Amino acid sequence: MQLINRLLILLLILTTFACSSPVKKNAQWITLPKFEHGENQWYQLRKTVKLNKKPKFAITKIAADSKYWLWINGELAVLEGQLKRGPNPKDTYFDEIDLAPWLKKGENTIAVQLWYFGSHGFSHNDSQMAGFYMDCQSGKEQIISDDTWKIKKTEAFKDAGEPRKNFRLPESNVRFEANNFDKDWQTPGFNDTHWKNAIQVGIEGAAPWNNLVKRPIPQWKDFGLTKVTDFKRDSNRVSMQLPYNMQFHFWMKVKAKSGQQIKITTDNFYNLNDVPLRAEYITTEGIQQYEHLPWLNGQEVYFDLEEGIELLEVGYRETGYDSEFNGTFLVDDQDLMKLKKKAERTLYVTMRDNFMDCPDRERAQWWGDLVLEMEESFYAMDEAAIDLSRKAIHELMDWQKADGTLFSPIPAGNWDKELPQQMLASIGWFGFRHFVQYTGEQELYKKVYPGVKKYLNLWQIDDDGSVPFKEGGWNWSDWGEQIDKNLLEHIWYYLALKGFSEMAEYMNEPAEQQKALQQMAQIKQHLNTEFWTEEGYRSPNYKKETDDRGNGLAVVAGIADQSKYPVLKKLLFETRHSSPYMEKYVEEALFMMGETELALTRMKERYKLMIDSYHTTLWELFKVGHWSHNHAWSGGPLSLMYKYLAGIEPEKPGFEEFHIFPDLDIYPSIFCKFSTIKGEIVLEYTKRNGNINYKAIVPEQTSAIIRVPKEARSYTIEGKSMYLELKEREDTIYHYFKLASGSWNISTNL
């Protein structure tokens, strides 16, 4: 009896505890009742929740299809949340945000503006349904999306009509009709009783959004609203000049009658055959302000006003990837410094959800561009930029087809064609291997190795080292004429094997490593016996002019030995068929051959129109025309300045060991510094009256290789740490030394 009483008491206690503790519910994907698929749909969602206390932390999982803006108690907490859909062909990214700074004890009003693209693109995989998901857990309290949320289709946002956006963009041209907008709808106290209740689609993991993958890059950087006072007026057009080509949201204050129209375009709208994004605004009565939620890009904004509209003020809010420029490279060369600055701007405006080719026409993650952007970012940007490269690598492999084929751009819902040479570039020496070399993240090889191996096995190498040409979905090599595609494919495959051999070594796969090295040797011999001519490398059946692209790539791949340099020197300086995409490799070949002056001359001559142009970014082609005026692949000279003029490049993964080989002949002074995962590397170099002096800072847990000309009458190496002479690296021109971490002064009397 006593035992029974104790059990009854225990049961009563448990029952009381269960009744007093709220049962936590699962967050639900929610959408509009009777949702119908269509492009460019906008929705407003609201929910008021009561919290017993202000939370210290409120880690919240938020996902949306396709973008969202979130207010708490009338204050903007998230500016354009959500990455474009597609960590893989099925799943969806989510944001993880601490909402505690905006929450308070008592009632809290959550308001969400949702933009559903409703369209596939070269950077987005449409799910076919607008949706929102929110799961905030804070101690015993929670804020979740469910059918108690109110939802309304936002009638103020419409499609801007003709000309429509081009098919590569999932985003649409947006018209905002001010008369149809609910003022102060984000604030507490707004009456939403006439709104519908959202319907529940399913908990996390539900179709069509499936698994949620944590956002691997930061939320966007908000540079703040900047008002422009010196805008220009020309009849009914007002133009606002921006300081440089940027990602921005325009703002304006106008006085108008109801129903009047303002058309908003950028300089890109008039430069491109493929229509970039634009906007329209339909006024309400009186004085009004408007800030456009979707981002545009350009360096000049045009407001075309219907007669009678007064544009009182204009401004812009720059947003972008949350990474800072922290690389510095300085020489006394005005043209080179202009080119560097424009290359940096080109790089930054092509970073957002993904590395993109251009921010106007496509916003697409083409891997040929990305290989160049990635290397530039290692020198020019801080470590946050590494996240964008890592995301791109994961996406490329997670979109791999069942048969092993890789393709880009991805994420994409309306593209799946393989460009074999871009794919070989991505997985090879300048792609995945460069990422590991600059970041030290060798663990990445475990992720990519099986897929890379599977892709390389799609090629069958002949016994003589010939690589049969693989058409793929689009056998693109470069823009322009005189393209020796077969030569290029042989070398891109060679470089892919070169990168794969390092992966296989790390993965402890000696048989695969040996196989790759053997195939490399066969290809190299084949190219040097069957492709080499007195004019340079040429495919046996190639009938056009010898191509600078493939010959430059042969040098940077290590296929061409020094005996071929006299022929290649003349070819690579005088032959100029490459577009800015392949130009980087041609110029790099000249640098590697020791022809710095020729490399710089070619660089300045090829980029002259861009250097002298009013454009703040670099173009898709060397000629001006109806092509993108901001194209990622044109920034190759940026990394060449750090790698060959300052002479700084990692020799072991993660800059555990690197070399500092500044060019000694062209500039009397060079200053360079940039951050690595180990710390900041600094070089300050001067040459006066036959004396070379340079200071170097070597980060902790690293070592640097330097070299001193053998022709020097004397030299000194001074630092608090030890240094070691490297006899095994000595050549006919230089002595080599290894410096431990610390500050060093090197002086040479020539």
Residue 580 is predicted with a pLDDT of: 97
Give the pLDDT confidence of 154-166 residue by residue, as tens digits: 999 999 988 999 9
- Whether residue 735 contacts residue 661, with contact meaning beta carbons closer than 8 Å, is answered with no
Residue 626 is predicted with a pLDDT of: 74
Give yes or no for residue 21 having a pLDDT over 50: no
Report which of 673, 660, 698 is spatially closest to residue 379, judged by C-alpha positions.
673
The beta strand positions in 321-359, using DSSP E, are 328-330
Number of H helices, E strands in the chain: 16, 36
Give yes or no for residue 597 having a pLDDT over 80: yes
Give the pLDDT confidence of 211-245 residue by residue, as tens digits: 999 999 999 999 999 999 889 999 999 999 999 99
Residue 20 is predicted with a pLDDT of: 42
Helix (H, G, I), strand (E, B) or coil at 237: strand
The stretch 337-356 carries a mean pLDDT of: 98
The stretch 548-570 carries a mean pLDDT of: 98
CA distance 674 to 49: 47
Give yes or no for residue 18 having a pLDDT over 90: no
Residue 199 is predicted with a pLDDT of: 98
Give the pLDDT confidence of 258-277 residue by residue, as tens digits: 999 999 999 988 877 788 89
Domain 332-645 carries which CATH code? 1.50.10.10
Residue 13 is predicted with a pLDDT of: 43
In this prediction, residue 721 has a pLDDT band, given cuts at 50, 70 and 90, of confident
b/e sequence 277-305, b meaning 16+ C-beta within 10 Å? bbbbbbbbeeebebebbbbbbbbbbbbbb
Domains 221-320 and 655-749 are alike in CATH topology:
no
Residue 528: other Cβ atoms inside 10 A: 17
CATH topology of domain 221-320: Jelly Rolls (2.60.120)
Domain 18-214 carries which CATH code? 2.60.120.260
Mean predicted lDDT score pLDDT of the chain: 95
Report the amino acid identity of residue 612: D
pTM of the shown model: 0.95
Domains of the chain, residue spans: 18-214, 221-320, 332-645, 655-749
Domain 655-749 carries which CATH code? 2.60.420.10
- Whether residue 351 contacts residue 323, with contact meaning beta carbons closer than 8 Å, is answered with yes
